[in-house]
Amino acid sequence: MARHQTDRPHAAVRGPAPVIVAVAAIAGTATIPFTTATAAQAAQAARAGTGTATYDCAIFSTHFDYEPTITVTAPADAAVGDQVPFEAEFTPMPNKAPLPVDKWTTTGQISLSGAATGEAGMSAPEKTGPVAPGTPITIGKLTGRFTAGNAGDVRLAPGKLVVSAVASGATAAITCALKGSAPTLATVKVAGATGPAATVTPSSIQQGAAITIGGTGWQSGNVSLSLCDANGAACKDGDLTDAAASADATGMLTGHATIADQAGIGARTLKVTQGAVSKDVALTVTEKSTPPTGGCAGKPADRCGEQKVSVTVNAGALTMSRQPGEVTLTPVTLDGTARTATGDLKQVQVVDARGGTSGWSLTGTITDFASSSGLKIPAGNLSWTPKCAAAAGSSVVTTGSAGPLDTTTASALCGAADGTGAVVGGSFTADAGLNLKVPPVTGAGQYAAVLTLTLS
């Protein structure tokens, strides 16, 4: 979007006032108290609890409140070994972004206690906007699964929530952390194992590595294997290679498979299927490690190790500022000939910290020079000679052409072209020499004009 700066000079051509262009970025943390489900709800086939929530959210260092109503729903009953589905529905989140939010994804966790402990992940499909500033952001339903490993009651309570949002090309995470403890909103009664059971070893596996499948209670014959997402859906045939499994006459299941190099990493589900019977087993796929390089190449793993180091670079803003004060041109004395008044634009600094490939332009227009008596010197009598420079490490800056200014048609002062597959940005300075032609027939007095610079 364009940003403008103007000044109304008196007795001279005056420079622009500072303007800052803000780029939206979103981030946050959160906290929650809840109410629990009623007895009538608990008696239903799917147990659900609905309650209000209070989150302490932050956009970087700026905090705001998020008070959703949350409903957690899960089956009333399950058996040991089951992959138990659940969902958590959140009412919309306040939108503190000054620019429209283009798209966002939401992930989170459900805290487990009782017969199962730890955290179970949940997620929602990507949503698209744009969502106008000040308009709530829809969170909706998140779904997930947990493994019922032991008999007994498993209690579900809301936990961490993360919204990854994109606004005007800038991406940031809204991370919402639970404040204090959250009451149980759903309970699953897990009974002893019934029907066939399946296991996967190891439960965390690298891309390209092999897994072993086991289990009991199956019918004699072949069993099919497929790798799916964390919720047991979106199964991809190509994610498993060399897959084979079968049960013997006693119902003992044995099998093996290799995780494909291109299989998606993160929480996944191995689906074991025989006819109408299907069992889901949770596992985690991690990124395939590369052979040692550099100083560890050819050395024993127990004597030399490597560590991957990563960093997150958040987008900044496109901003413009200038030196304080006004531009005063040199005075002239009428002598019956055209005279010239000269001066220099107050230096302008442009900072492009967006971290993207979009360029920018800084242009100017000017009004006619007017005196207190109503006399004028045309705007086109003022010409400028732009001077632009890029700070060390910045991308290339382009200097505008020398020439007259206009009241409506913008003249280029400085700019940077879009990057062709490359990031552009950095810090830049813009100056210009000013030259005003004073006609021989000009009324005596002080003249002033307004020079407007626009950054876009």
Spell out the domain ranges in the chain.
3-22+316-455, 39-191, 197-286
CATH topology agreement for domains 39-191 and 197-286: yes
pLDDT for position 64? 80
CATH match for 197-286 among 2.60.40.1930, 1.10.3720.10, 2.130.10.10, 3.10.28.10? 2.60.40.1930
Confidence of residue 367 (pLDDT cuts 50, 70, 90): very high
Highest mean pLDDT among 35-39, 65-69, 272-276: 272-276
At the topology level of CATH, where does 39-191 sit?
Immunoglobulin-like (2.60.40)
Say what percent of the chain tops pLDDT 70.
87
pLDDT for position 301? 65
> Residue 161: which residues within 8 A CB-CB, separation 6 or more?
30, 55, 90, 106, 107, 108, 109, 139, 175, 176
Is 127 exposed, middle or buried, given 0-12, 13-18 or 19+ CB atoms closer than 10 A?
Answer: middle
Nearest to 438 by CA among 357, 365, 335: 335
Judge whether 416 and 399 are in contact, CB under 8 Å. Answer: no
pLDDT by residue (tens digit) across 51-63?
A: 888 888 776 666 7
Confidence of residue 31 (pLDDT cuts 50, 70, 90): very low
Say what percent of the chain tops pLDDT 90.
48
Confidence of residue 25 (pLDDT cuts 50, 70, 90): very low
